[in-house]
């Protein structure tokens, strides 16, 4: 079973549509999927997510987390409440999944965690200190999973995306989009096909472990 958290995002929805013949548990705030093999459940808090994960009773589990929250605030204006919420969504969702699902994965001697974040988690940017900090916290979590549980055939990897084909990007003014694209040597935004192929690559290769796959068109290479 593939468990997808943040299933309401456009990238997650596209992945679910392409893989609707696979057994999927889609967790989101409110989205409902009508595919035969996709079960939709709603979660608006860590406690609700915890209860959902505890009921999972399938073998060969895969966790893919698309959920994210981002506040546009300079460091000196960053709200402590927003920073706490960023940790709740951007880090603790993955931490809870690791805690709850690993014993189930050990039992079946198989499991994969895939965290989805942004190159901003490594590069940083103006106005995204809470986002970058809380997303970056998943990197040592990933390495800890690798060091502690790889012997049970459990892997953990991260897909780090650059500019993506999402409503957030397309809502930006044209001049802002052009400015952002200047950071991308390939001058291409990431689409759902890029994400889906990266997920397939991870799922089909057990030796890919503890890695960050940068789908960024060369952004990190540009400076």
Lowest average pLDDT, out of 94-103, 173-182, 198-207, goes to: 173-182
Question: Given this model, what pLDDT does residue 185 score?
Answer: 80
Lowest average pLDDT, out of 23-37, 143-157, 183-197, goes to: 183-197
Residues in Cβ contact with 98 at an 8 Å cutoff, skipping those fewer than 6 apart: 113, 141, 145, 156
Indicate whether 179 pLDDT > 80.
no
Question: Given this model, what pLDDT does residue 123 score?
Answer: 66
Band of pLDDT at residue 7, cut at 50, 70 and 90:
very high
Indicate whether 163 pLDDT > 50.
yes
Question: Given this model, what pLDDT does residue 223 score?
Answer: 47
Q: Average pLDDT of the chain?
A: 90
Q: Which domains does the chain have, with CATH numbers?
A: 2-216 (3.40.50.720)
- The residue assigned the tokens 């705030």 is 29
- Do 30 and 8 meet the contact criterion of CB atoms below 8 Å apart? yes
The rounded distance, in Å, linking the Cα atoms of 38 and 15 is 12
pLDDT tens across 47-82, in order? 999 999 999 999 999 999 999 888 888 989 889 999
Question: Given this model, what pLDDT does residue 124 score?
Answer: 67
- Do 56 and 25 meet the contact criterion of CB atoms below 8 Å apart? yes
Rounded to 5°, the CA angle 117-90-223 comes to 35
Indicate whether 155 pLDDT > 70.
yes
Question: Given this model, what pLDDT does residue 180 score?
Answer: 74
Average pLDDT over residues 3-15: 93
Question: Given this model, what pLDDT does residue 13 score?
Answer: 93
Q: What percent of the chain has pLDDT over 90?
A: 64
Burial class (CB in 10 A: 0-12, 13-18, 19+), 21: exposed
Q: What percent of the chain has pLDDT over 70?
A: 94
């Amino acid at each position: 079973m593939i468990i997808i958290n943040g299933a309401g995002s456009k990238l997650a929805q596209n992945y679910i549509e392409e893989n609707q013949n696979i057994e999927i548990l889609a967790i989101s705030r409110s989205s409902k999927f009508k595919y035969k093999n996709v079960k939709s459940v709603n979660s608006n808090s860590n406690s609700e997510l915890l209860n959902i994960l505890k009921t999972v009773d399938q073998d060969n589990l895969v966790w893919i987390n698309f959920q994210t929250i981002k506040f546009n605030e300079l460091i000196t204006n960053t709200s402590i409440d927003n920073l706490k919420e960023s940790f709740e969504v951007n880090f603790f969702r993955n931490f809870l999944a690791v805690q709850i699902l690993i014993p189930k994965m050990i039992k079946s001697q198989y499991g994969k965690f895939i965290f989805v974040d942004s190159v901003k988690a490594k590069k940083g940017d103006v106005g995204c200190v809470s986002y970058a900090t809380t997303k970056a916290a998943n990197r040592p979590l990933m390495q800890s999973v690798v060091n502690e549980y790889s012997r049970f055939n459990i892997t953990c990897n991260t897909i780090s995306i650059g500019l993506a084909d999402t409503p957030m990007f397309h809502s930006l003014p044209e001049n802002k989009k052009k400015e952002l694209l200047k950071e991308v040597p390939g001058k291409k935004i990431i689409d759902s096909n890029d994400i889906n192929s990266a997920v397939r690559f991870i799922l089909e290769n057990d030796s890919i472990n503890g890695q960050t796959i940068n789908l960024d068109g060369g952004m990190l290479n540009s400076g």
